[in-house]
């Protein structure tokens, strides 16, 4: 049993839709979704059977309001919400919880996952990092998050932001590496799917052995002949060659 009967979500982006879906799938009713774009109102009704509104005045008498908007918009949204006894939380990895301290009960419920509207994620495996303004609020937010995920972690604002920064390394930068490979492979009419097994095994082995011990490749074994051959292949790709050189130098220095 969760401690919130009347839940509102502010936003219509990736995280807002993800939370609406996972709450609905777990039998939890969302009272309202507050949106800026009138075009999504019917979509929200169709997808989630949730009433969406453009009117801040309809977000009243709620037990919790989840602000799932871009980082730059959180404080503006909060300023337009009426003060109440509701818990008000945002979903940002970087923004501190105290930007919501006009509300007595406030916090953060941040999903540590790359989320895209039309791509389903099994939320039971998604770590949810929470912060709240009091031990009692932590307990309540933990109960809500635990309905959505099997891995809920309480954290300080500082540690959550540090996790967010490192997520850029393990998610966003990895994606960019795949984009580079995809671009270069296209020239030879090769498909990036050839690397699916390699990528999966690299991640699996890194968690099994530890990232440092799992690393292989020419830089790890100091195979300068292969490294120079690779750099020659990238002679006309200035940016990609620079990235290759920076990462190669990092590995060479790391494994002296």
Map out the domains of the chain with their CATH numbers.
7-155 (3.40.50.720), 161-254 (1.10.1040.20)
Give the pLDDT score at 62: 92
Please state the rounded mean pLDDT for residues 163-178: 98
Q: Could you read off the pLDDT of 216-227 as tens digits, one per residue?
A: 999 999 999 999
Please state the rounded mean pLDDT for residues 198-211: 98
The pLDDT-based confidence of 60 (bands split at 50, 70, 90) is: confident
Distance, CA of 157 to CA of 53 (rounded, Å): 31
Closest CA to 86 of 123, 44, 140, 45: 140
Percent of the chain whose pLDDT exceeds 70: 100
8 A C-beta contact, residue 75 and residue 18 = no
Distance, CA of 5 to CA of 125 (rounded, Å): 25
Q: What is the pTM (predicted TM-score) of this model?
A: 0.92
Cα 82–8–137 angle (5° rounding)? 80
């Amino acid at each position: 049993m969760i401690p919130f009967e009347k839940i509102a979500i502010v936003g219509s982006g990736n995280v807002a839709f993800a939370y609406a879906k996972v709450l609905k799938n777990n039998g939890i009713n969302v009272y309202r979704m507050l949106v800026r774009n009138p075009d999504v109102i019917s979509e929200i009704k169709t997808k989630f059977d949730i009433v969406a509104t453009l009117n801040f005045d309809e977000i009243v008498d709620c037990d919790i309001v989840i602000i799932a908007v871009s980082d730059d918009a959180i404080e503006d949204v909060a300023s337009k919400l009426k003060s109440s006894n509701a818990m008000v939380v945002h979903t940002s990895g970087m923004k501190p919880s105290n930007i919501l301290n006009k509300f007595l009960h406030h916090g953060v419920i941040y999903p540590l996952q790359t989320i895209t509207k039309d791509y389903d994620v099994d939320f039971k495996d998604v770590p949810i990092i929470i912060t709240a303004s009091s031990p009692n609020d932590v307990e309540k937010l933990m109960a809500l998050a635990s309905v959505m995920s099997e891995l809920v972690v309480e954290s300080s604002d500082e540690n959550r932001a540090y996790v967010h920064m490192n997520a850029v390394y393990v998610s966003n930068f990895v994606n960019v590496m795949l984009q580079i490979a995809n671009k270069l492979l296209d020239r030879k009419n090769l498909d990036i799917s050839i690397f699916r097994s390699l990528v999966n095994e690299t991640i699996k082995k890194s968690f099994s052995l530890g990232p440092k011990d799992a690393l292989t490749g020419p830089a790890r074994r100091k195979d300068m002949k292969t490294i120079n051959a690779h750099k020659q292949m990238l002679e006309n790709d200035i940016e990609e060659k620079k990235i290759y050189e920076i990462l190669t130098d990092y590995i060479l220095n790391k494994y002296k």
